[in-house]
A and B are shown apart, each in its own frame.
Chain A
Amino acid sequence: MRSHCLCLVAMVMGCAGATVAGHHSFVAQFDGNKPITLRGPVTKVEWRNPHIWVYLDVRGPDGTLTPWQCEGGAPNALTRQGWTRNTFTLGEEITVEGWLAKDGTPTCNAKSWKLADGRTVLAGSSAGGEATPPPR
């Protein structure tokens, strides 16, 4: 029961973040029917307004390497929750679940971020999703 309540809170927080953060429309840029899971090393973190962007290199089944960019939540809100750009270590492999951009470019809107050790990090994605407690 408790976990259900937390989940609802997370969703509400998430959509508040979605509305707030950049005043852009998720549906204009991303396809909620096209979920995607990406895994690869972090190459760059942009902890800047109005949304954070995390870049990672993803190796495809044929071995080719594709640089991806994934949009996250509002940096000020994330900072207040205790997250920082150093939540990610450059070169560390992470797993991102999110939704594909409509324009066909290797761009995603992140729903959840997982570090190599399995910890889920960050909350308040620009599209909502799984909010997690900040590290204390």
Chain B
Amino acid sequence: MTARVVAWPVFLLACAAALLTPAPVRAQAPAAGSGTPVPRTADGRADLSGVWNKRLVVNTGAMVEPLPFTPEGLKAFNDVWNHIDPTSRCIFPGVPRVNTSPYPMQIVQLPDKVVFLYEYMHNYRVIYTDGRGHRPAWEPSLMGDSIGRWEGDTLVIDTVNLTDRTWLDDHGNRHSDALHVIERWRRTGASELSYEETIDDPKFYTRPWTVSWTIPLAPKEWVVMEYACTDNNKDLYDGHLQNGPLDGSLRNGSAIGPPAPPRR
């Protein structure tokens, strides 16, 4: 009994330490690759195809603290205590948060498009690289409107037309409906991807900010599995959800200005 009571805070501390440890920023850990040649498609382009073992990145903003909040952005950040994490209700994580979840994804690269198949929430994205532009008149959406282009071996994805109903990550970093995301995907070796995202949101941040991390290739036998968020999600209807990030204590020391007290 005593041992368990003691173990729980220790576990929480271990969790906090693990989750607070940010993924390496590019300046600290340049993507070295695996030292193995980058696989290439028939036309000579670096091939991003494969099943990738995405890592959980809880707090993307931690890599650039302090975040360059506008007054409106800071208000939204601290107001997170008045909101339930949208993914708790099985709302799509959206772009770019879909890249922070730790479930695997498969990339299928074709000459005129790159397809992302995310296990988490069964999300997919078809990124056309054929030179087309953004769609002019569609309603904003959770995953937004993405188009791609190749800069050498790097796939650059430009996403606009996003709603403000998603979060940037588990930490509850926020964005407005003015969010414009630039992702840069590059294969640095046979078994490693380099990922970089730029958050360009003039309503919430005074300047764009960029974070990056690496993603290892998944073991050979891995395939993307079913993840139906609503399949047996007892939390949706049993009153088990609470406002704010999953672990509110993770916000300690990371808010600028006093965060609003959590409402339980």
Tell me if B252 is interfacial: C-beta within 8 Å of chain A.
no
Query: Are the CB atoms of A18 and B15 closer together than 8 Å?
Result: yes
User: Quick one: which of A35, A53, A103 has the most chain B CB within 10 A?
Assistant: A35
CB distance from B48 to the nearest CB of A (A): 22
Q: Which of B18, B88, B231, B240 contacts A15 (CB 8 A)?
A: B18
CA distance A76 to B119 in the complex (A): 10
User: Quick one: which of A14, A15, A27, A71 has the most chain B CB within 10 A?
Assistant: A15
CB distance from B102 to the nearest CB of A (A): 5
Tell me if B201 is interfacial: C-beta within 8 Å of chain A.
no
CB distance from A46 to the nearest CB of B (A): 6
Query: Are the CB atoms of A11 and B11 closer together than 8 Å?
Result: yes
Q: Which of A14, A25, A35, A80 contacts B246 (CB 8 A)?
A: A25
Query: Are the CB atoms of B15 and A49 closer together than 8 Å?
Result: no
Tell me if A29 is interfacial: C-beta within 8 Å of chain B.
yes
CA distance A82 to B133 in the complex (A): 45
Query: Are the CB atoms of B232 and A46 closer together than 8 Å?
Result: yes
Query: Are the CB atoms of B225 and A79 closer together than 8 Å?
Result: yes
Which residues from chain B contact A32 at a C-beta distance below 8 Å? 8, 12
CA distance A34 to B75 in the complex (A): 36
CA distance A22 to B242 in the complex (A): 13
CB distance from B82 to the nearest CB of A (A): 15
Query: Are the CB atoms of B227 and A20 closer together than 8 Å?
Result: no
Which residues from chain A contact B85 at a C-beta distance below 8 Å? 23
Which chain B residues in 58-92 approach chain A with CB under 8 Å?
58, 85, 87-88
Tell me if A129 is interfacial: C-beta within 8 Å of chain B.
yes
Q: Which of A18, A23, A51 contacts B88 (CB 8 A)?
A: A23
> Given A20-B103, A48-B231, A49-B227: A14 and B241 within 8 A (CB)?
no
Residue numbers of A with Cβ under 8 A of B are 8, 11-12, 14-16, 18-20, 22-25, 27-29, 32-33, 35, 46, 48-51, 53, 71, 76, 79-80, 97, 99, 103, 128-129
Q: Could you show 28 A-B contacts with beta carbons less than 8 Å apart? A: A8-B14, A11-B18, A14-B11, A15-B14, A15-B15, A19-B19, A19-B56, A19-B246, A20-B102, A23-B88, A23-B170, A25-B246, A28-B241, A29-B235, A35-B1, A35-B5, A46-B232, A48-B228, A48-B231, A49-B228, A49-B229, A50-B232, A51-B232, A71-B234, A76-B103, A76-B225, A76-B227, A128-B15
